[in-house]
Amino acid sequence: MRRGLLAEAGIVLADLGPAGLRAGVDDVLDAAAVAWSARRVGLGTAIARPDPPEIFADGIACAVWT
C-alpha cells in the first residue's frame, strides 16, 4: 500500500538495491514517505492534519504535516 501511495505521488521505488538488503523494505518505504512530507513542508504545500492543528494546554500547536 505504501509503495502504491508513494508511486501516486511520483516517488517510484522499483528496485531498493542495497538499501533493501541492509534495511527492511518497510523502513525504506517509511523513509521515502518522510522525505516526501519534508519536501512538501519545504515547498509550503504541506497540509496539517488536523486542520487547524490541535492546541495543547501549554499553548503548543500539534499536527501531522503531509
Q: Give 3-52 pLDDT, tens digit per residue.
A: 888 889 888 887 777 777 788 888 888 989 999 999 999 999 999 999 99
Quickly list H helices, the chain: 2-8, 17-22, 25-43
How many folded domains does the chain comprise?
Answer: 1
C-alpha cell at 32: 521515502
Residue 62 has pLDDT above 90, yes or no: yes
- In terms of residue numbers, what domain contains 39? 2-65
- As a whole number of angstroms, the distance between CA 39 and CA 2 comes to 17
Whole-angstrom Cα distance, residue 3 to residue 16? 11
Interval 50-59 mean pLDDT: 95
